[in-house]
């Protein structure tokens, strides 16, 4: 990896230290054979009869929105992606949010299908960018078909998402839904581009890191919450609360996901990696391996505490807005809390550090 310049936050003078060799890299805290297993996902909340019926309608609209060319590779690959399953979390969130804020049934179904289709499009393209070969326990679209077909399938799923918005009877609400879908998708695309772009000349500032981290995950958590709410009578204050909750969950997810990769020995340091932006100043009184051990423990402690604090804020925001929305996202929040606590428990020693 090429060397890049670092700018100290307290100085305008750039050093010539390579960005990624300057950082203290985490070492596995447990031998590979003794690693604690991942806590795994928390079970989703049971469906009410109404929600189960509407989810069936959402699935039908998702398939319908792909078009009638069932025999063509892009359509087959898109159907394959949809059929890999998943918890339909975004569809659930859009339906619950729409119901809570008083959206019509046709709007709830269309918004849920649009959000779920766009989410699946992002997964196809994300797997293609990262080279991942498994998704939901099955071969990813690019690995099952090929890279070119996967690119076409992701594009088709994006088109299908916008097609689903045309099923809304109210022209005003249909337009609002389309704009919401485009705005958040645009944010995710530009956020993801930061990670795959050539390395910047200097380390991003903390503010830039936080902004980029929220842009990668939070928009597709906020999308179904906001999309559902826009079909009803949500107030600006309620929409702001949804944004704060989604931003907090998205931030926590990115921090924990970066730590998961490093713990498994798979992590690569890109400029917006959580490890780089949670390292405390080095203790000049320590030396040798002690510095490395202290920095490793301190960094892990700061990162996990940051994630847990964000999840606490999300829980408070959602509970105040709608207990049903909190219940829908509770498995996600608890799963991230378990993963963060798993990293804390793996600390060789816990330091008392103020974050």
Question: 315: which 2 tokens?
Answer: 């829980």
Q: Shortest CA distance to 87 belongs to which of 267, 337, 335, 255?
A: 335
Q: Measured between alpha carbons, how far is 262 from 30 in angstroms, rounded to an integer? A: 12
- Give the pLDDT confidence score for residue 303 in this predicted structure: 93
Tens-place pLDDT, residues 247-300: 999 999 999 998 888 777 665 677 888 888 888 876 544 444 444 667 788 888
Fold of 51-197: Farnesyl Diphosphate Synthase (1.10.600)
What is the rounded distance in angstroms from the CA atom of residue 147 to the CA atom of residue 193? 18
First-to-last alpha carbon distance for the chain, in angstroms, is: 30
| Burial class for 118, CB neighbours closer than 10 Å (0-12, 13-18, 19+) | buried
pTM of structure: 0.83
Q: Which of 66-80, 184-198, 273-287 has the lowest mean pLDDT?
A: 273-287
The conformation of residue 248, written as its DSSP 8-state character, comes to: H
What's the pLDDT at 267?
Answer: 53
Pick from 73, 166, 89, 96: nearest CA to 123: 89
Q: Is residue 302 pLDDT above 80, yes or no?
A: yes
| Least confident among 75-84, 199-208, 340-349 | 340-349
Q: Are 133 and 139 within 8 A, CB to CB?
A: yes
SS3 category, 210? helix
Confidence of residue 200 (pLDDT cuts 50, 70, 90): confident
Distances 74 to 63, 107, 151 between C-alpha atoms, Å: 13, 27, 9
Q: Where are the domains of the chain?
A: 51-197, 235-355
pLDDT of 142-189, one tens digit each? 999 999 999 999 999 999 999 999 999 999 999 999 999 999 999 999
User: Residue 41: which pLDDT band, with cuts at 50, 70 and 90?
Assistant: very low
User: Is residue 15 predicted with pLDDT exceeding 70?
Assistant: no
Per-residue pLDDT at 188? 94
How far is it, in rounded angstroms, from Cα 112 to Cα 181?
11
pLDDT at residue number 97: 97
36 pLDDT exceeds 50?
A: no
- Strand ranges inside 19-96, DSSP E: none
Instruction: Give the pLDDT confidence score for residue 219 in this predicted structure.
Output: 96
Q: What is the dihedral of CA 108, 114, 118, 123, to 10 degrees?
A: 60
Q: What is the mean pLDDT of residues 211-230?
A: 93
Q: Is the distance from CB of 305 to CB of 252 less than 8 angstroms?
A: no
**Rounded Cα distance, 93 and 91, in Å:** 5
Give the residue carrying structure tokens 């051990």: 293
């Amino acid at each position: 990896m090429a060397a890049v310049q670092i700018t100290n936050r307290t100085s305008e003078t750039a050093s010539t230290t390579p960005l990624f060799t300057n950082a203290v890299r985490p070492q596995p805290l447990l031998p590979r054979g003794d690693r604690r297993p991942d806590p795994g996902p928390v079970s989703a909340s049971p469906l009410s009869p109404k929600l189960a019926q509407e989810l069936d309608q959402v699935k039908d609209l998702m398939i319908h929105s792909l078009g009638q060319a069932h025999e063509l590779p892009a359509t087959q690959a898109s159907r394959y992606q949809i059929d890999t399953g998943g918890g339909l979390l975004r569809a659930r969130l859009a339906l619950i949010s729409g119901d809570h804020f008083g959206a019509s049934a046709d709007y709830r179904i269309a918004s849920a299908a649009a959000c779920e289709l766009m989410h699946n499009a992002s997964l196809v393209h994300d797997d293609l960018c990262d080279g991942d070969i498994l998704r939901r326990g099955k071969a990813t679209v690019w690995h099952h078909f090929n890279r070119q077909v996967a690119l076409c399938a992701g594009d088709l799923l994006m088109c299908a998402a916008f097609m689903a918005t045309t099923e809304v009877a109210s022209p005003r609400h249909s337009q609002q839904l389309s704009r919401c879908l485009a705005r958040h998708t645009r944010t995710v695309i530009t956020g993801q581009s930061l990670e795959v772009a050539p390395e910047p000349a200097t380390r991003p500032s903390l503010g830039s890191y936080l902004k980029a981290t929220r842009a990668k995950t939070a928009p597709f958590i906020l999308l179904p919450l906001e999309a559902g709410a826009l079909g009803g009578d949500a107030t600006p204050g309620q929409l702001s609360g949804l944004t704060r909750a989604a931003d907090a969950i998205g931030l926590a997810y990115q921090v924990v996901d970066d730590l998961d990769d490093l713990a498994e020995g798979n992590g690569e340091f890109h400029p917006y990696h959580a490890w780089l932006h949670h390292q405390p100043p080095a203790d000049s009184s320590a030396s040798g391996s002690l510095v490395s051990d202290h920095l490793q423990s301190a960094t892990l402690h700061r990162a996990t505490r940051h994630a847990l604090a964000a999840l606490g804020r999300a829980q408070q925001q959602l509970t105040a807005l709608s207990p049903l929305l909190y219940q829908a996202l509770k498995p996600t929040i608890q799963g991230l809390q378990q993963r963060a606590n798993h990293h804390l428990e793996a600390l060789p020693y816990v330091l008392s550090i103020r974050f």
